[in-house]
Chains A and B, each alone.
Chain A
């Protein structure tokens, strides 16, 4: 396992906790609001995959599934990063979710004129979703949870398990 200087460790940990906080709170807000739905966001999709996202919104059944997966996905990813539990799995999940957001609202030239929802900020090709995705990739490659997090025990338990059955 990579070993870090004290500073490297602290800044990586800070990054993990901040992203974890962001995910967890985004998830909690949605779960706590019974009226929350991704309908508007999906309908506002632009770019290559717009029709795919819009068809998700078009069917009440799929919409309910998408809403559920998004809400609880955000919460679980947030918890995973905050607690340092199965952090690599959490990072991959986060990258996938952010990838979906990025492709449903791609910051391409001209697309900002097409979005109906007001966007926070100005972007050209690179937006916050993409930056957070890369940050999660960094966390995947430079984990901290084996020291600051439950993964220390989780990996211990996971590794012990097969030996038990043998």
Chain B
């Protein structure tokens, strides 16, 4: 060091020209980088112009309005506290204490498990549960407990006032201290209960599908419209922001003419095939079988149709009045109560497509399938393909379902200029033979084999040109949980929209017309399968007619 100092001091600065150049030797390197960065920015700008071409605006789910903390309290009743009923009441803010226990324990073991935190942070909807109805005692008792779980606590409580249990849904509907009902009974009861609730002046949240028989479908629409109650239909996909985004992409005509849509159901476990566990406490004394059988008028409509078209082999086979635990817990496997794959699962897919494209009721439906894997005595098929034609839109929608493979197939919208796939993320890819983008493809600005738009749910600002990283995370659903905004359960948002409309007026996003279109479409698919021929929709007469 001292030697260096000496050197430096001995050197007169004026004679250090050579040294001065040495000290600045790296400045040309900076120049090179500046040039490189300039060229790179120019290149990126050309890519960004492409982004502008596909610029998307922010979307907000229909339920995005702020919840007024001092909103009028709404007194809720729930009919049906099975699998879906539990989920709905939980989304409304009344979880089973045992579920809270599980979530708390999971969060303790794994700090990344935020289900409990997310749940507690959900804004309260200012609801109270004043009545519950289930025809199975164990479920009814569980509903009472959840309804009293006003503090969203585990088994230790403290709990609030327990709701009243009603053994007959009509008694619940007659109660003065109930403003609104959630209906989550089996499919064969949906329409009847919805009509009775509307007639009793209760606001209705109805689980899908809307109806079990075709004749009741028209009646439900009329009754709901005449009653003026606030009706929300249970397709919570209406709140999914990637669907809203997809709608925007369609509106901006980024895909060009869409000629084919493919939607699917892929499940591969007994639970997914409706083989639900049979509860140990279930027996003829804890289950009101008479009420389970259904509404007489509905049953007549069902039998009339089946008999008139030679479909008696699909009825039963056990007599309806015969107590049967399998039929009680696994009712989706028998047409006597079920609407099959069409009503249970196609409806979600169809409603998503109807939300995105506004297709309405199809012109025709053709189905095929069978009971190919779960040969457990069911009458409802476990493999089903239905093709729906929309000639006025120059469009086919293909529904393809199996309950014996869960190979993931997203919703695919195939356009002449680009295709869009909706799964956990949304990906748009330009078609190599696109007319609209031909010149950009030729210039190399658009690469047809790479995703042009990748939308990651929850991300507010969407740039059309996304990175591989974002795509990676999107496909694994990781970013969704950690974006600055909160992560919401769509069922919660769907109930919240309904509640807000009850308080402040307005029509929920999944209204009675959407429900009617859903139900008719599902019935067309089902009838096409049962009768083995194409079903058509007569738009003017509003009737399903045979080919």
Chains A and B form a bound pair: yes
Q: Which residues of A contact B (CB under 8 A)?
A: 1, 13, 17, 20-21, 24-25, 28, 32, 35, 39-40, 43, 51, 54, 57-58, 60, 82-84, 116-118, 146-150, 152-153, 156, 159
In the complex, the answer to whether B482 meets A39 with C-beta atoms within 8 Å is: yes
A-facing residues in B269-302 (Cβ within 8 Å): none
Q: Which residues of B contact A152 (CB under 8 A)?
A: 8, 19, 22-23
Residues on A with beta carbons closer than 8 Å to the beta carbon of B65? none
The contact sample of 14 A-B pairs, CB cut-off 8 A, is A25-B36, A57-B482, A84-B23, A116-B473, A117-B469, A118-B468, A147-B19, A147-B22, A148-B23, A148-B25, A149-B23, A150-B24, A152-B8, A159-B5
- B478 in contact with A116 (CB, 8 Å): yes
9 A-B pairs with the lowest CB-CB distances in the bound complex, closest first:
A1-B4, A148-B25, A152-B23, A82-B26, A60-B484, A40-B469, A148-B22, A17-B29, A40-B473
B19 to A21, Cβ gap below 8 A?
no
- In angstroms, Cα B30 to Cα A24, docked, is 10
Residue numbers in A under 8 Å from B112 (CB-CB): 54
| Chain B: minimal CB distance from A19 (Å) | 12
CB-based nearest B residue for A153: B23
B50 to chain A, nearest CB (A): 16
Given A82-B33, A116-B473, A150-B23, 7 new contacts (CB under 8 A): A28-B33, A35-B463, A43-B473, A82-B29, A83-B30, A152-B19, A159-B5
In contact, A21 and B111 (Cβ under 8 angstroms): no
Q: Which residues of A contact B5 (CB under 8 A)?
A: 159
Judged by a CB distance under 8 angstroms, whether B1 is at the interface is: yes
- Kindly state whether residue B476 has any CB partner on chain A within 8 Å: yes
**Which chain A positions have C-beta within 8 A of B478?**
43, 116
A116 touches B472 (CB 8 A): yes
Q: A28-B37, A35-B461, A116-B476 are in contact. Are A82 and B30 (CB under 8 A)?
A: yes
**A17 vs B19: C-alpha distance when bound (angstroms):** 18
**In contact, A58 and B482 (Cβ under 8 angstroms):** yes
A152 to B479, alpha carbons, bound, how many Å? Answer: 48
Q: How far is the CA of A159 from the CA of B6 in the complex (A)?
A: 13
* Interfacial chain B residues near A57, Cβ < 8 Å: 482
Within 8 A of A (CB), among B173-199: none
Give the total of B residues in contact with A, Cβ under 8 Å. 32
Specify which chain A residues have a CB less than 8 angstroms from the CB of B1 in the assembled complex. Answer: 1
By a CB distance below 8 angstroms, the chain B residues around A82 are: 26, 29-30, 33
> Would you give the shortest CB distance from A43 to chain B, in whole angstroms?
6
Q: Do B472 and A32 touch across chains, with their CB atoms under 8 A apart?
A: no
In the complex, B70 has a CB within 8 A of chain A: no
**Which residue of chain B is the closest to A34 with respect to CB atoms?**
B461
A158 to B451 Cα, complex, angstroms: 54
Using A117-B472, A118-B468, A152-B19 as known contacts, say yes or no to A83 and B26 having CB atoms under 8 A apart.
yes
- With both beta carbons as reference points, the residue of chain B lying nearest to A2 in the complex is identified as B4
Say whether B124 faces chain A, with CB atoms less than 8 Å apart.
no
B456 to chain A, nearest CB (A): 10
Q: Within 8 Å CB of A60, what residues of B?
A: 484
Which A-chain residue is minimally distant from B41 (CB atoms)?
A: A32
Complex Cα gap A118–B63 (Å): 37
Is B3 in the interface zone, CB < 8 Å from A?
A: yes
B476 contacts across to A, CB distance below 8 A: 116
| Complex Cα gap A1–B4 (Å) | 6
Could you tell me the distance between the alpha carbons of A24 and B26 in the complex, rounded to whole angstroms?
13
Q: Name B463's closest neighbour in chain A (CB-CB).
A: A35
Asked if A24 and B3 make an inter-chain contact with CB atoms under 8 angstroms apart, the answer reads no
**Which B residues lie within 8 Å of A148 (CB)?**
22-23, 25-26
Within B1-53, the residues touching A (CB, 8 Å) are: 1, 3-5, 8, 19, 22-27, 29-30, 33, 36-37, 41
B24's nearest neighbour on chain A, judged by CB, is A150
